[in-house]
């Protein structure tokens, strides 16, 4: 058994609404063998991993997987459960798993859930499954699995990759409020919200945080001076660039003093209780080791507190206690530290609620001051200090005192956050008691503010009743403030790009700045910003993370759904244009039922109460149901019984009737536009383009676009807005119809247009098809061409997609001539050869149907041949009109 390949689906997908890893596993020697076939396997595995007894599996209750083990299950499924158990053992809590056969004996896809904020490029899920495979194989072979060291390495990796407590608290709070949340890479940077409502948070630093405030807080001396000038109680002190200056300050202030870096952070190199000139010298050297100035200041008496303010309001307060252990009369200091570090809340750095205790040079120095060493055994109840400062970053602990903050202290903290200019601030105070009234500045033993921190850690406040993450989210998104923009997601087999472009055109007419993704690229505000196949989740995130975008229209194709899932959590409108055979045999999509199931994910992720636009003329679409969503039907047949029944029951629909695009809503029949005026519709002859217009109109109306504005924009949608989809040009006396049809259904639709406008006897078909289609679909496409065209030029895509040179044209030619032996069929290699060959076959008044791989080279080639655009609505009225 071994792993063959793996991919991450970061967004909602056909398996789960959360991220998953899909890993192809080859059972090899274990093919067709089950767990019950290996004597003692279930017992040995459960002894090794007793947590498996709690796995539900398909039974929906603990013990379900145990029943499968004893009753017999395949080893790929077993590896799935072992991987989930190992994941939970390292603190990476996941529950969902599934194992599916691929249709090839011994080959399975193992799907395991991933934490929602795990980096996209993390290989943890794959490594856990690989370790699970090793464990299962060892148990099968009767060997003792050796996996502890490898699992510990994965635990450390997970600790490094997962978001810190502050970031996790903010992300969780955002999701509780149904705000879209996305972590950027492995950073602590979060994107909250979509489009124009998007906000950024980096740990507890927000896009509202003043850069000046951050700089002030980062300069400990500047902060002290600024607050002192404002009458805030702060310790006396000053900066020192040399040892001599530090000693002068020490002489002026008197012991004890605090020595710390002027630009210090997280309590590093902070020395308290410095009470001799020699100690000042040593502290100065350590605090200034990075070359910056140090601050020497009076050490205030009292207890250490941290107060968190957000938006000028007190959100939480904690008393901080320096790192320490408590003697038990049995263990030495080193043993007490080791025992304390077994607390699961303690981790390395900021990964967990508390930081591991360290017995380093700083701790050793402090131990000596207490008359101890790491080998001494403190008396029972004796407190042994490992740090002077109370930072959590150096192993300190905290106690929530939010309810005890005296109003005078709260008022002081509000003033301080405003004086420094921070929307989120961590204010460190040393006070006799936070519950006591705060004496004015200058009062002896009154305590005061010792530091102000930008991007303060939240972990000391977590676990209390204070929702500190929620407070930051509420400051960014006050209750009632929007966090989302309207999203239209479009999928289906054919027409996706046109529907996406037209929907964006309609929304832009309503005054919205629209971001749209299509097969040809990403456009924002009507300007193309990236040329590429942009139908996957990464392109969706480009639009949704752009703060200038008012609405998003996302073409959502099969490839992105299969390989990465959706690029958003919920949409407002989902459109399924039609469902026909294409891409079968790719990425595990073996049948039309598989394709329908996959593309239905787009509709399933429409928010409750949103609209799903479906094609009532498409037999597979008519079978779909999406509870909780409004179904909006579209049809070219005004007598469609499904539409009639839907309308009679109060539903909405969009029809072609009596030469008009019509809206049926609220028991009313509302004409929108005469079909002969539809831009790109060839006066109504392009039936597939009319169907696309109905779907786009339904989507735009679902978002509130007015019917009058709708008609205007439907009329103005032309070739410039929809290049490569029914684009009409003229070269001399011959028309050239450029289209992207690349499957049997699309070929049939564009052939129907040619028949209606010119008659196929007046047409030359110039054909290329993608090499990644199955042979049977290529032959079916050839039969469609053979039924309509008598003159055909075949050429090959530059990207053959795994095919041999000439293989696809040969399949098409053989099938075409088998069906229609009298067809004139010309073979060439490239589009540069195909266009002149087709024009040579054409007569004046004919049309050349030109299918392409990429639109830009084709349009450049035609331009070089003198092609000029033609308004498709300028075709003779008598020809078009009688064919509608």
**What's the confidence (pLDDT) of residue 587?**
60
- The region of weakest confidence among 312-321, 342-351, 652-661 is 342-351
**What's the confidence (pLDDT) of residue 802?**
87
Rounded-to-integer distance, Cα 449 and Cα 460, Å: 18
* Residue 444 pLDDT > 80: no
* Residue 395 pLDDT > 80: no
Claim to verify: residue 732 and residue 713 sit in the same structural domain: no
Rounded-to-integer distance, Cα 194 and Cα 550, Å: 9
pLDDT band for 878, please (50, 70, 90 cuts): very low
Pairing of strands 791-794, 763-767: parallel
Query: What's 831's domain CATH number?
Result: 3.90.190.20
Claim to verify: residue 737 and residue 618 sit in the same structural domain: no
* Burial classification of residue 623, based on how many CB atoms lie within 10 Å of its CB (0-12 exposed, 13-18 middle, 19 or more buried): exposed
The number of folded domains in the chain is 4
**Boundary residue ending a domain (721, 756, 776):** 721
pLDDT band for 350, please (50, 70, 90 cuts): low
Claim to verify: residue 714 and residue 735 sit in the same structural domain: no
Q: Could you list the residue range(s) of the whole structural domain that residue 768 is in?
A: 727-881
Q: Is residue 821 situated within a structural domain?
A: yes
> Which residues are 767's β-sheet partners?
794
pLDDT band for 7, please (50, 70, 90 cuts): very high
Q: For 9-55, what is each residue's pLDDT tens digit?
A: 999 999 999 999 999 999 999 999 999 999 999 999 999 999 999 99
Under the phi-then-psi rule, with left for phi > 0, alpha for psi from -120 to 50, and beta for the rest, what region is 667? left
**What's the confidence (pLDDT) of residue 884?**
32
Claim to verify: residue 771 and residue 715 sit in the same structural domain: no
* Residue 243 pLDDT > 90: yes
Q: Is residue 94 situated within a structural domain?
A: yes
Rounded-to-integer distance, Cα 528 and Cα 540, Å: 14
**Six-digit token string for 688:** 């597939």
**What's the confidence (pLDDT) of residue 872?**
78
Q: Is residue 281 situated within a structural domain?
A: yes
CA 243 vs. chain centroid, Å, equals 52
**What's the confidence (pLDDT) of residue 559?**
82
Arithmetic mean of pLDDT, 620-649: 94
Claim to verify: residue 750 and residue 691 sit in the same structural domain: no
Taken in order 846, 851, 856, 861, the sign of the CA dihedral is negative
Claim to verify: residue 712 and residue 734 sit in the same structural domain: no
Arithmetic mean of pLDDT, 431-447: 82
Arithmetic mean of pLDDT, 415-441: 93
Instruction: Assign 217 to helix, strand or coil.
Output: helix
Claim to verify: residue 766 and residue 787 sit in the same structural domain: yes
C-beta separation of 509 from 764 below 8 A: no
* Residue 883 pLDDT > 80: no
**What's the confidence (pLDDT) of residue 322?**
78
DSSP letter for 163, please. Answer: P
* Residue 881 pLDDT > 80: no
**What's the confidence (pLDDT) of residue 755?**
95
Claim to verify: residue 786 and residue 760 sit in the same structural domain: yes
Query: What's 256's domain CATH number?
Result: 3.30.1490.20
Residues with Cβ < 8 Å from 430, sequence gap 6 or more? 300, 301, 302, 303, 304, 305, 447, 448, 450
CA 101 vs. chain centroid, Å, equals 28
Place of tokens 């011959």: 734
Rounded-to-integer distance, Cα 776 and Cα 762, Å: 28
Q: Is residue 174 situated within a structural domain?
A: no
* 3-state SS, one letter per residue, for 9-78: ECCCCCCCCCCEEEEEEECHHHCCCEHHHCCCHHHHHHHHCHHHHHCCHHHCCCCHHHHHHHHCCEHHHH
Q: For 264-299, what is each residue's pLDDT tens digit?
A: 776 678 888 899 999 999 999 999 888 889 999 999
* Residue 728 pLDDT > 60: yes
**Boundary residue ending a domain (246, 268, 298):** 298
**What's the confidence (pLDDT) of residue 879?**
36
Q: For 88-136, what is each residue's pLDDT tens digit?
A: 999 999 999 999 998 899 999 999 999 999 998 899 999 999 999 999 9
**Six-digit token string for 813:** 């030619």
Claim to verify: residue 617 and residue 756 sit in the same structural domain: no
Q: Is residue 201 situated within a structural domain?
A: no
* Residue 435 pLDDT > 70: yes
Claim to verify: residue 765 and residue 866 sit in the same structural domain: yes
pLDDT band for 383, please (50, 70, 90 cuts): confident
Query: What's 548's domain CATH number?
Result: 3.40.1190.10
| 222 vs 354 pLDDT, higher one | 222
**What's the confidence (pLDDT) of residue 590?**
64
Q: Virtual CA dihedral for 72, 75, 81, 83, nearest 10 degrees?
A: 160
* Residue 81 pLDDT > 50: yes
Claim to verify: residue 141 and residue 243 sit in the same structural domain: no
Instruction: Assign 577 to helix, strand or coil.
Output: coil
Backbone φ and ψ of 695, nearest 5°: -65, -45
- The region of weakest confidence among 85-89, 677-681, 771-775 is 771-775
**Boundary residue ending a domain (118, 142, 162):** 162
CA 305 vs. chain centroid, Å, equals 38
Question: What element of type H or E holds 707?
Answer: helix 707-716
Q: Is residue 601 situated within a structural domain?
A: yes
Arithmetic mean of pLDDT, 348-368: 78
Closest CA to 653 of 703, 609, 594, 611: 611
* Residue 583 pLDDT > 70: no
**What's the confidence (pLDDT) of residue 386?**
83
**What's the confidence (pLDDT) of residue 178?**
96
Rounded-to-integer distance, Cα 455 and Cα 843, Å: 73
* Residue 882 pLDDT > 50: no
**What's the confidence (pLDDT) of residue 215?**
96
Place of tokens 């930008």: 454
**What's the confidence (pLDDT) of residue 107?**
94
Claim to verify: residue 253 and residue 120 sit in the same structural domain: no
pLDDT band for 779, please (50, 70, 90 cuts): very high
**What's the confidence (pLDDT) of residue 144?**
93
Q: Virtual CA dihedral for 771, 772, 778, 780, nearest 10 degrees?
A: -160
Using only the alpha carbons of the chain, give its radius of gyration.
35
Q: Is residue 611 situated within a structural domain?
A: yes
Q: Is residue 637 situated within a structural domain?
A: yes
* Burial classification of residue 222, based on how many CB atoms lie within 10 Å of its CB (0-12 exposed, 13-18 middle, 19 or more buried): middle
* Residue 351 pLDDT > 80: no
Place of tokens 């971001």: 515
């Amino acid at each position: 058994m071994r792993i063959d390949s793996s991919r991450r689906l970061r967004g909602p997908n056909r398996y789960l609404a959360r991220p998953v890893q899909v890993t192809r596993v080859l059972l090899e020697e274990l093919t067709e063998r089950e767990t019950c076939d290996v004597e003692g396997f279930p017992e040995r595995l459960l002894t090794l991993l007793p947590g498996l007894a709690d796995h539900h599996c398909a039974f929906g209750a603990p013990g379900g997987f145990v029943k499968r083990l004893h009753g017999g299950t395949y080893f790929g499924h077993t590896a799935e459960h072992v991987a989930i158990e190992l994941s939970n053992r390292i603190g990476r809590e996941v529950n969902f798993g599934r194992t599916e056969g691929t249709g090839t004996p011994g080959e399975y896809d193992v799907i395991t859930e991933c934490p929602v904020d795990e980096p996209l490029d993390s290989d943890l899920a794959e490594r856990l499954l690989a370790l699970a495979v090793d464990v299962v194989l060892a148990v099968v072979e009767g060997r003792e699995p050796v996996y502890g060291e490898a699992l510990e390495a994965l635990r450390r990796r997970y600790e490094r990759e997962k978001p810190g407590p502050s970031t996790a608290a903010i992300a969780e709070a955002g999701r509780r409020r149904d705000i879209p949340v996305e972590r950027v890479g492995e950073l602590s940077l979060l994107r909250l919200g979509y489009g124009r409502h998007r906000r950024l948070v980096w740990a507890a630093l927000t896009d509202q945080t003043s850069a000046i405030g951050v700089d002030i807080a980062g300069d400990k001396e500047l902060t002290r001076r600024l607050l002192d000038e404002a009458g805030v109680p702060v310790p006396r002190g000053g900066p020192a660039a040399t040892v001599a200056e530090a000693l002068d300050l020490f002489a002026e202030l008197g012991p004890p003093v605090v020595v710390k870096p002027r630009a210090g952070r997280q309590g590093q190199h902070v020395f308290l209780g410095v009470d001799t000139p020699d100690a000042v010298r040593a502290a100065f050297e350590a605090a200034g080791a990075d070359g910056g100035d140090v601050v020497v200041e009076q050490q205030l008496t009292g207890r250490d507190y941290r107060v968190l303010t957000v938006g000028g309001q007190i959100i939480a307060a904690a008393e901080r206690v320096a790192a320490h252990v408590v003697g038990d009369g049995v263990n030495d200091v080193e043993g007490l530290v080791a025992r304390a570090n077994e607390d699961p809340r303690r981790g390395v750095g900021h990964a967990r609620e508390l930081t591991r205790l360290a017995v380093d040079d700083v701790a050793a120095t402090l131990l000596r001051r207490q008359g101890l060493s790491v080998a001494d055994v403190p008396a029972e109840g004796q407190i042994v200090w490992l740090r002077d400062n109370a930072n959590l970053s150096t192993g300190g602990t905290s106690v929530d005192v939010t309810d005890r903050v005296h109003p005078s202290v709260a008022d002081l903290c509000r003033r301080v956050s405003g004086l420094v200019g921070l929307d989120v601030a961590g204010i460190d105070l040393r006070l006799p008691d936070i519950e006591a009234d705060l004496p004015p500045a200058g009062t002896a033993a009154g305590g005061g503010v010792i530091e102000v921190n930008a991007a303060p850690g939240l972990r000391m406040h977590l676990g209390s009743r204070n929702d500190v993450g929620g407070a930051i989210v509420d400051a960014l998104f006050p209750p009632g403030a929007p966090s989302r923009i309207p999203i239209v997601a479009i999928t289906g087999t054919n027409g996706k790009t046109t529907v996406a472009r037209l929907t964006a055109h309609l929304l832009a007419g309503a005054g919205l700045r629209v971001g749209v993704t299509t097969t040809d690229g990403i456009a924002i505000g009507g300007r193309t910003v990236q040329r590429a196949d942009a139908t996957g989740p990464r392109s969706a995130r480009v639009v949704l993370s752009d703060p200038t975008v008012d609405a998003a229209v996302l073409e959502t194709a099969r490839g992105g759904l299969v390989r990465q899932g959706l690029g958003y959590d919920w949409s407002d409108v989902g459109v399924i244009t039609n469902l026909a055979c294409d891409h079968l045999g790719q990425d595990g999509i073996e049948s039309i039922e598989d394709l329908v199931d996959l593309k239905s994910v787009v509709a399933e992720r429409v928010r409750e109460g949103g609209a799903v636009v479906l094609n009532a003329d498409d037999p597979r679409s008519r079978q779909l149901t999406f509870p909780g969503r409004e179904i909006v039907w579209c049809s070219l047949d005004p007598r469609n019984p499904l539409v009639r029944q839907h309308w009679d029951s109060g539903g909405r629909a969009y029809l072609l009737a009596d030469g008009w695009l019509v809206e049926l809503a609220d028991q009313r029949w509302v004409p929108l536009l005469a079909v002969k005026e539809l831009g790109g519709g060839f006066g109504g002859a392009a039936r597939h383009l009319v169907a696309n217009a109905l779907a786009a109109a339904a989507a735009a109306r679902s978002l509130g676009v007015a019917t009058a504005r709708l008609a205007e924009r439907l009329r103005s949608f032309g070739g410039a807005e929809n290049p490569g989809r029914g684009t009409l040009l003229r070269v001399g006396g011959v028309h050239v119809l450029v289209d992207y049809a690349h499957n049997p259904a699309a070929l049939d639709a564009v052939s129907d247009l040619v028949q209606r406008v010119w008659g196929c006897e007046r047409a030359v078909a110039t054909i290329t098809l993608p090499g990644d289609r199955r042979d049977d679909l290529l032959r079916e496409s050839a039969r469609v061409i053979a039924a309509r065209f008598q003159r055909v030029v075949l050429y090959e895509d530059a990207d053959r997609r795994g095919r041999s040179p000439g293989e696809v044209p040969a399949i098409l030619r053989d099938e075409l001539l088998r069906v229609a032996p009298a067809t004139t069929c010309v073979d060439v290699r490239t589009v540069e050869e195909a266009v002149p060959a087709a024009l040579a076959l054409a007569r004046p008044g004919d049309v050349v149907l030109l299918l392409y791989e990429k639109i830009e080279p084709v349009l450049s080639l035609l331009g070089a041949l003198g092609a000029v655009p033609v308004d498709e609505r300028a075709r003779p009225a008598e020809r078009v009109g009688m064919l509608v």
